[in-house]
Amino acid sequence: MSEKGAEKKFQSTSGIEIKKLYKYTKSNDEEPGVPPYTRGVYSEMYRQRLWTMRQYAGFSTAEESNKRYHYLLNQGTTGLSVAFDLPTQIGYDSDHAFSEGEVGKAGVAIDSLKDIETLFNGIELEKISTSMTINSTASILLAMYIALAKKQGADLKKISGTIQNDLLKEYAARGTYIYPPKSSMKIITDVFEFCSKEVPKWNTISVSGYHIREAGSTAAQELAFTLANGKAYLKAAIEKGLDINVFAKRMSFFFNAHNNLFEEVAKFRAARRLWAGITKELGATDPRAQMLRFHTQTGGSTLTAQQPYNNIVRVTIQALSAVMGGTQSLHTNGFDEALALPTENAARIALRTQQIIANESGVVHTVDPLGGSYFVEELTDEVQKAAEEYLNKIDEMGGSVNAIEAGYIQNEIASSAYQYQREVENGESVVVGVNKYETEGSEVGDLLSIDDSIRQVQMDKIKQLKADRNSEKAESCLKTIEEAAKNDSNLMPHIIEAVETHCTLGEISDVLRKVYGEYKG
């Protein structure tokens, strides 16, 4: 919002001017469940089945995280979502020097198949959908999950879930990459190819706009850059010989939800419409291959350390936008996450927020509840138009990989982040409790803290693992991965064999570092 004299002008986060009154003249007789899916990917939406209620969780050791998963399942969560610590994300075991100070902090520490077995102890993988927020080491974590499913006697054709596996946004916005972009794309498409045959219900990529938005993008930029990355993955899969009508059905997306409720709803509606057009343009003829299915997480960057209970209200608004925008699954942040990992109390309130929306608000009783609103329909068009301008520019540059290597996407995000920060600092954008309506003193009680002794626990586990395993067989498996990487074979069968032989995540990552090198940015 800006002010000029007595006249106020209102804008969305994407710089779209908001009019005083809308008189939408364009007719919209679209039905949900059919392309271009503006009004939803299923004809009945939540009237038939609610979204999957996931609570993102993972901290400390696999034992501690397993306790939280059982707690959340007992509280009514309907899908698991795993957070991994930083060493796991960038391919280092807990005993590596680079891991010091980070083990178990941002998520759960996973070094080997033994940790995955502990993480999911008492949980039947065939009966639960699991989402894993992991990228550079996604192939290894998926291999461990598959190995555990096999040990449980599960039918691999029935296990379901998602790995994020989206490296392009790592180069653009987040930074937990290991290998250069082209090598990463090779590993990603190996996962696509393997799962299409062996684990057909698994979503092999969750193209993530979440971290793009967390880095400071606008809603329109989040949408455009995410779909541009999705387009790049589609093209890579097609070049590998995969059928878009098969492969595209196993792609999913991961979006952020911020506080501007109507713009967020418009963003989700425009996303489906744009993706239907992109997939059709690239040859998808099956309507289900033109569907954009997505997970939503409420905005971590919107949470404030000041007056943290205000975050419950923010999360509620954001969750409402995701539901009214037609999400397929949802994670709601804990109110204390600007200060620490969420306590059980904060996680329960976050889950109850979803359950209250589902059972008490009435917004699930009709499909696309804001459809037909003059404001929302025109805003959907405007967000789409703003995103298309970025998509066209990226196409002119030769696609996402080229745009990232040229620094274009990173610079656009940085510029938006800087602009927003200036608006907060000069008071043009109000953040309640931060630059207006401030109070002194802390309002929150106990916080969850992770002891540094966790690293020693993990180091002891690794030492015992290596003493107990067949060292010759482990070394042979690692050599096989190296050869497969050199001759461009599909890596997944060899990685699965390696984790079953108790090779560690760091050992496998190091072999691939040896072949592919590391990306320095």
- C-alpha distances (whole Å) from 467 to each of 57, 93, 300, 316, 435 are 31, 16, 41, 50, 56
User: Are 126 and 155 spatial neighbours (Cβ–Cβ below 8 Å)?
Assistant: yes
CB atoms within 10 A of CB 132: 24
pLDDT of amino acid 5: 46
What is the distance between the terminal CA atoms of the chain, rounded to a whole angstrom? 36
Cβ-proximal residues to 141 (8 Å cutoff; 6+ apart), any chain? 84, 88, 110, 116, 132, 134, 163, 505
Q: In angstroms, rounded to a whole number, what is the distance separating the alpha carbons of residues 222 and 501?
A: 41
Question: Nearest 5 degrees, angle CA 23-CA 29-CA 34?
Answer: 135
Describe the chain by its helix, strand, coil percentages, rounded to 5.
50, 10, 40
pLDDT of amino acid 27: 67
CB atoms within 10 A of CB 422: 11
Q: Give residue 461's identity as a one-letter amino acid code.
A: K
Query: In terms of Cα–Cα distance, which of 469, 500, 516, 461 is closest to 93?
Result: 461
String of DSSP letters for 405-434? HTTHHHHHHHHHHHHHHHHHHTTSS--BTT
User: Are 354 and 332 spatial neighbours (Cβ–Cβ below 8 Å)?
Assistant: yes
Look at the block and give the residue holding tokens 């691999």: 156
Q: Which residues pair with 296 in a beta bridge?
A: 255, 330
Two tokens, residue 436 = 């207006």
Query: In terms of Cα–Cα distance, which of 173, 177, 144, 174 is closest to 161?
Result: 144
Alpha helix locations (H) across 29-76?
Answer: 62-75
**Sheet containing 17-18, strands listed edge to edge, beginning at the edge strand earlier in sequence:** 2-4, 7-11, 17-18
Cα-based torsion angle of the residue sequence 432, 435, 436, 437 in order, rounded to the nearest 10 degrees = 70
Cβ-proximal residues to 267 (8 Å cutoff; 6+ apart), any chain? 219, 220, 222, 223, 255, 325, 383
User: Are 312 and 337 spatial neighbours (Cβ–Cβ below 8 Å)?
Assistant: no
**Sheet containing 160-163, strands listed edge to edge, beginning at the edge strand earlier in sequence:** 202-203, 160-163, 129-133, 79-83, 52-57, 329-331, 294-298, 251-257, 205-208
Burial class (CB in 10 A: 0-12, 13-18, 19+), 182: exposed
pLDDT of amino acid 442: 63
Two tokens, residue 186 = 């090779």
Task: Identify each DSSP E strand in 341-410 by its residue range.
Answer: none
Cβ-proximal residues to 196 (8 Å cutoff; 6+ apart), any chain? 204, 242, 246, 247, 250
| 3-state class (DSSP) for residue 320 | helix
CA 163 to chain centre: 9
pTM for the whole structure: 0.91
pLDDT along the chain (521 residues), means of 10: 62 94 79 97 97 88 94 91 95 97 94 98 95 96 98 96 94 92 93 94 95 97 98 94 93 97 98 98 97 97 96 98 97 93 91 97 97 94 98 97 94 96 95 93 71 91 97 98 95 98 98 96 72
